[in-house]
Amino acid sequence: MGRAFYQESAAAREVLDRAEAVLPGLLDTIWEGPEEALRLTENQQPALLAVSAAAWAAWREAGGPDPAYAAGHSLGEWSAHVAADTLELEDALRLVRLRGRYMQQAVPEGEGAMAAILKLDEAVVREVVQRTEGVWIANLNSPGQVVISGRKEAVEAAVAELKERRGRAVPLKVSAPFHSELMAPAREALARDLAQVELRTPRFPVFSNVTAEPATDPDRIRELLLAQITAPVRWVEILEGMHGRGVATFVELGSGNVLSGLVRRTLPEARALNAEDPEGLAAALEEVAS
């Protein structure tokens, strides 16, 4: 993850070296593991942010244009704000490490759970969730894909009922029940740290996970970055909001291609590209220029 960018892009290498300087050992954890260490959310969050920021630096180095709008899924919203210069890379890395640590501390491992619910309308999932204490909607990823989160027993109860409604459930391998009210202690703890960091007006609008609308005011962005810890990720509305504003091409920068897949399922008419390595980035640049 990110190694090819490090080897082939001077701009990406500078970003990853800066990440290593602020969080010593991060690159070794990303590239060498062990996997158990990388799965810890306090390591995983800065790792993903660092690699996304490196991909963005490589994109800019290669002549890639600024987007009309940017967005990130959950943690990715922080990466989008780094790309938009709302946050300094070093500040963002320190904050997301704390974000991950506070999230893990909020709920002891094994007491929370998350599950992706497939093949059911959002309204059906929402109905079951509203009647099940201790479970919340976490992500609205694409039509027919809703993630629920909460106490392990409550999630299991909701899953059982949703299966009876002919839905399919996929348990997620996560260390905490993200985007649920159980994360409130993490939100409160991070507020103290985020208050000490300068946020600037972004160079381009970044959509908020909480409102599914672009945000540009630094004080409002600060509020929204905290609120998203417990609020659901409204990804379908974000994509539809971008598309409604004239966006026809989406480029996913960073590790993996999950988000470009969600674009295709939500907006079949849109063009979805992903650049998780130099080859993918070159292909995406060629497509954007065509």
Residue 184 lies in a domain: no
CATH code at position 100: 3.40.366.10
**In this predicted structure, which of 36-45, 93-102, 150-159, 251-260 has the lowest mean pLDDT?**
36-45
**In this predicted structure, which of 20-24, 34-38, 224-228, 253-257 has the lowest mean pLDDT?**
34-38
252 with 132, same domain: the answer is: no
160 with 27, same domain: the answer is: no
Residue 231 lies in a domain: yes
E strands, the chain, in order: 112-118, 135-142, 145-151, 168-171, 206-207, 214-215, 249-253, 271-275
Helix (H) or strand (E) holding 106: helix 89-106
Q: Inter-axis angle of helices 89-106 and 41-61, to 10 degrees?
A: 150
Q: Which of 179, 180, 208, 255 is catalytic?
A: 179
pLDDT at 29: 94
Give the burial class of 8: count Cβ atoms within 10 A of its Cβ; 0-12 exposed, 13-18 middle, 19 or more buried: middle
Nearest residue to 184 via CA among 77, 112, 130: 112
Where helices occur in 214-275 by DSSP H, the ranges are 218-227, 235-244, 258-266
| Mean pLDDT (whole number) for 86-112 | 96
Residue 188 lies in a domain: no
End residue of a domain, out of 128, 154, 171: 171
Domains: count for the chain: 2
End residue of a domain, out of 171, 192, 222: 171
For residue 165, the SS3 value is coil
**Higher pLDDT pick, 164 / 37:** 164
| Mean pLDDT (whole number) for 128-141 | 97
Contact 85, 200 (CB under 8 A): yes
101 with 120, same domain: the answer is: no
Q: Is the pLDDT of residue 290 over 90?
A: no
Q: Is the pLDDT of residue 169 over 90?
A: yes
127 with 60, same domain: the answer is: no
Percentage of the chain exceeding pLDDT 90: 93
| Mean pLDDT (whole number) for 202-229 | 97
Q: pLDDT per residue over 243-280, tens digit each? A: 999 999 999 999 889 999 999 999 999 999 999 999 99
Confidence band for 52, pLDDT divided at 50, 70 and 90: very high
End residue of a domain, out of 147, 171, 195: 171
Q: Is the pLDDT of residue 193 over 90?
A: yes
22 with 165, same domain: the answer is: no
78 with 37, same domain: the answer is: yes
**Domain housing 124:** 112-171
Q: Is the pLDDT of residue 109 over 90?
A: no
pLDDT at 100: 95
Backbone φ, ψ for residue 238 (5° rounding):
-60, -50
pLDDT at 68: 97
167 with 50, same domain: the answer is: no
pTM, entire model: 0.95
214 with 101, same domain: the answer is: yes
Residue 191 lies in a domain: no
Residue 186 lies in a domain: no
Residue 176 lies in a domain: no
Q: Is the pLDDT of residue 36 over 90?
A: no
125 with 234, same domain: the answer is: no
Residue 179 lies in a domain: no
pLDDT at 61: 97
pLDDT at 243: 98
Q: Is the pLDDT of residue 67 over 90?
A: yes
Contact 271, 248 (CB under 8 A): yes
Confidence band for 1, pLDDT divided at 50, 70 and 90: confident
134 with 80, same domain: the answer is: no
Instruction: Establish whether 73 is a catalytic residue.
Output: no
Confidence band for 39, pLDDT divided at 50, 70 and 90: confident
213 with 103, same domain: the answer is: yes
Q: Is the pLDDT of residue 110 over 90?
A: no
Backbone φ, ψ for residue 198 (5° rounding):
-75, 135
**Higher pLDDT pick, 147 / 256:** 147
Instruction: Establish whether 175 is a catalytic residue.
Output: no
148 with 133, same domain: the answer is: yes
Q: Which of 9, 52, 74, 149 is catalytic?
A: 74
E strands, 48-122, in order: 112-118
CATH code at position 119: 3.30.70.250
Confidence band for 15, pLDDT divided at 50, 70 and 90: very high
